[in-house]
Amino acid sequence: MESIVKVEHLSHRYTVDWAIQDINFEVNRKGILGLLGSNGAGKSTTMNIICGVLNQTDGTVYINGIDTRKNSVEAKKNIGFLPQKPPLYSDHTVDEFLIFAAEMRLVDPKKIKQAVEMAKERCGIAHFSKRLIRNLSGGYQQRLGIAQAIVHSPKFVVLDEPTNGLDPNQILEIRKLVKEIAVDHAVLLSTHILSEVQAMCDDIKMIEHGHLVFSGTLEEFDNYVKPDTFIVKLDNPPEDEEILAIPGVVRLKHLDKNTLRVRFDKREDITEIVASACVNNGWGLCEITLERISLEEIFAQLSGKRLIDKF
Ligand SMILES: Nc1ncnc2c1ncn2[C@@H]1O[C@H](COP(=O)(O)OP(=O)(O)OP(=O)(O)O)[C@@H](O)[C@H]1O
């Protein structure tokens, strides 16, 4: 099936400097795509162009096959957008605001009531229909922000840091809601929180210094940097030289009397080699565990930052 969004050779220059350059990607019709990048990497610029809030300097964006520059009104019918600061009018009631949002999104006037009821139901805010927005908690304001983004049943929903500023319970609720929405919508999610990416996203794009530096599944992101250390716990640790003599072992560090961190040189079977050396030499092997590379370390590596040396 054709993707819902196609971004081709997208570049943007605000004044002199390029904010993004030659970005290319596609978005599947279902599921959650996480957009990652450091501050100032170019995420908002990319999202604003895709959502039709900013006109690109170069390149093309197709939403559901429609060129956003050639037919922005039709393209925008397919997009729901929750900006970082939801555009809520605090003196409106929930109903008034959603009706207004539906009108702005050109929903057929005869279908507005039904569209508003559907959006409230999906976002769990139907019982607050008559409440003034300023009297809603942060979590419910965010639900309302999501409701306005889906009121016109767009195929593609863009959420810019939707859990920002929420408490841990509200964060879990919003994550659950976003996952439910992603069952029948394509969702593009921008976030700084890597645990959120891990909890929610199917695919990941990462932008750094205006360039796309990673594009793949969450699993591919997770495995982007292969582990090269393990932790070994020994009842009778030998002299360092004996461990360093094992083929493939290149460095070690004592974490405590019985625990060592060992760096190896990418041999696939290294843990087996070390485990059998420990057993054969009577070093009293208690535990051997490969150290996984954290998402933070992968993010740092893709951002071009040096990883902290663990030795
Ligand atoms: N209106 C503007 N005028 C000039 N430069 C801008 C403007 N908006 C953004 N920039 C610059 O463009 C680059 C990309 O910014 P952008 O806001 O897209 O990054 P971001 O990844 O969304 O960052 P953040 O996570 O901090 O929101 C940055 O260098 C930024 O300073």
Q: How far apart are CA 171 and CA 184, in angstroms?
A: 21
What's the pLDDT score for residue 271? 85
Q: Which atom of ligand 1 is nearest to the CA of 20?
A: 14
What's the pLDDT score for residue 85? 81
Kindly report, residue by residue over 140-187, the tens digit of the pLDDT. 999 999 999 999 999 999 999 899 888 899 899 899 999 999 998 999
Please state the domain count of the chain.
2
Q: Parallel, antiparallel, or unpaired for β 203-208 and 31-36? A: parallel
Residues 153, 250: one domain?
A: no
Q: How far apart are CA 172 and CA 139, in angstroms?
A: 10
Residues 213, 239: one domain?
A: no
Domain assignment present for 297: no
CATH code of residue 211: 3.40.50.300
Q: Find the 18 Cα to ligand 1 centroid distance in Å.
A: 10
Ranges of residues in the chain whose predicted pLDDT is under 50: none
Pocket (CB within 6 angstroms of ligand 1):
14-15, 19, 37, 39-45
What's the pLDDT score for residue 192? 81
Q: Find the 30 Cα to ligand 1 centroid distance in Å.
A: 28
Q: Which atom of ligand 1 is nearest to the CA of 12?
A: 12
Residues forming a β-bridge with 216: 204
Q: Which atom of ligand 1 is nearest to the CA of 37?
A: 21
User: N- to C-terminal Cα distance for the chain?
Assistant: 49
Coil, helix or strand at residue 167: coil
Domain carrying residue 261: 229-292
What's the pLDDT score for residue 1? 66
What's the pLDDT score for residue 292? 87
What's the pLDDT score for residue 191? 86
What's the pLDDT score for residue 223? 87
Domain assignment present for 26: yes
CATH code of residue 288: 3.30.70
Domain assignment present for 66: yes
Residues 127, 19: one domain?
A: yes
- What pTM, to 2 d.p., does this model score? 0.85
Domain assignment present for 298: no
